[in-house]
Amino acid sequence: MKNKDFVLSITLYAFLGYLWLLFIDHIGEIANTMDNVLIFGGIIILLGTVLFGEIVRRVTPFNEYKNSHPVKIAGFVSFGLVVVASLFV
């Protein structure tokens, strides 16, 4: 494990967390224009999140690491911190 891997993982997952937040925000705005906001918005957000997760899992250079690898854990934590920070801002 190199420090470069940690920095890359943290940066990449933080950026992906921000992209996911933009996606959720955009879908929320689109769903608000429809009649059944909860049904359509929820289904689109759920499907989009699953697809986003698959893309993230395959695109990142750390896909050969197990989920318990410290570099991957650092990335997951940075993703979570970006999402939690956006809730409080």
Domain ranges within the chain, ordered by starting residue = 3-88
Distances (CA, A) of 31 to 23, 38, 41, 43, 49: 12, 8, 5, 10, 15
Q: Which residues are CB-neighbours of 56 under 8 A, at least 6 positions away? A: 16
Cα–Cα distance measured from residue 31 to residue 7, given in angstroms and rounded to the nearest whole number: 36
Task: Record the tokens describing residue 87, joined without a space.
Answer: 């809730």
Please say if the pLDDT value at position 69 is more than 90: no
Q: Assign 1 a pLDDT band (cuts: 50, 70, 90).
A: low
**pTM for this entry:** 0.81
Please say if the pLDDT value at position 53 is more than 70: yes
